[in-house]
Copies of this chain bind each other. A is one copy, B any other.
Amino acid sequence: MLVSTDLRPNETRALAALFRAGALSRAALARDLGLTRSTTGALVLGLTEAGLARERSDGADDEQDGEGRVGRPGILVEIEGNGGFFLGAYIGVNWIATVAVDLAGAQRASASRAFAGPGSTPEAAVAIIEELVAEIRSQLPEGTRPYGLNVAVPGFPAADGVSYHATILGWHGVNLAELLGNAFGDDFPILLENDANAVAVAETYRAQPGKDDEDALVILIENGVGGGIINAGRLHRGRLGGAGEIGHLRIGDEGFVFDAKRPGRLESYVGKDALLARYLHISGRRAGVDEFVAALAAGDPTAVATARDWALWFGRGLATLACTLQPERIILSGSVNAVYPFVAEQVEAFLSDFLAEGYPVPTVELSRVGADGPALGAACLLHQASLSGDPKFQLRGLAAR
């Protein structure tokens, strides 16, 4: 009879090692885990029987630099994606999205729906998530049960750590965990995560095979400026998940848009509103981002001047953050990304000028993940928790008993 069984510690460790490396021979895995080849052979046998790993058939052993090495070549073992699924969701201002990530870390299903965030109730959002989760679950192989659902929200828990504030949605003191718990019962564990944090994970989680200790800063620029911090491959949350709220970074005295209570903040210089307000101020033209970018591309001097001002403050902010956090990469996301290519040189020159000699200059890159970012990152966080051996997200496999 086939039953679902919890994985033993070394099985989880083996999967984590396979995930890190992409694929490994049994012998290489044994070295990685500090076990003997015989033990590892048995381990891999157990994992394949449980449907969590498989021998790689395709393309032979191309990725491993096996060519030129003496001795019998190994058979690469990799994670079987269908071994498990992790759900992520995003409650945005305009839409709600859900995705499923498989055990191999690949996105396997997604579904989304328009949602008029401000003005809608949390209950309405949860109802939509419930429907979308049913939809993506139907896209997954028969009989699979996800390991959890992580919901990215544009807000933060209050000081009590439970009730959520999502100002941008007009929600205050909402117990989202309870609402979601009511909807999904005890099917699987449910988590909540700030959306900017989730995007940061989506942008960096396993961005390069074999590299899982990245230091990165992901910056989201819309009207507000938010961000997420990745330290050694792990999300830096801070006390309530609010670390990375760099919009309030005070870099000057006023700002392009003035805020009496908190003047001089980063977002009042580099946010979307701020950029367009500056353009209005210089050119007298009221434009959207697309129009502004078109003017910039056409060489309109007022647009160029606006972009230069913007780049100056943006560079200031990045330099400050680079000193404080010393990331390897800074990744930009949001609609203002369309402007960045026009000022990349200026910003990066400012950045490296500002940093002390010998200080590593981070690269500045544009987002790779698209609109699915928050939901994808939320799912990746579950994937990470499962492979790190967190007992709450303990992996399971099918075993003959």
Contacts and interface: CB of A to CB of B under 8 A. Distances in A.
A31 interface: no
A246 interface: yes
A237 interface: yes
A245 B360 CA distance: 13
Interface string A250-274: 1111000000001000000000000
A161 to B, nearest CB: 9
B231 A320 contact: no
Interface stretch (A41-49, A125-133, A323-331, A335-343): A323-331
Interface in A101-138: none
Given A248-B354, A262-B354, A354-B262, A243 B320 contact: no
Interface string A271-292: 0000000000000000000000
Report copies per complex.
2
Contact of A327 (B165, B239, B262): B239
A86 interface: no
A391 interface: yes
B158 A358 contact: yes
Nearest to A232: B237
A381 B104 CA distance: 34
A319 interface: yes
A373 to B, nearest CB: 21
Nearest to A242: B326
A215 B215 CA distance: 18
A3 interface: no
Nearest to A165: B358
B358 A325 contact: no
Given A34-B391, A320-B249, A236 B240 contact: no
A147 interface: no
Contacts of A239: 215, 326-328, 360, 362
A156 interface: yes
Interface string A68-100: 000000000000000000000000000000000
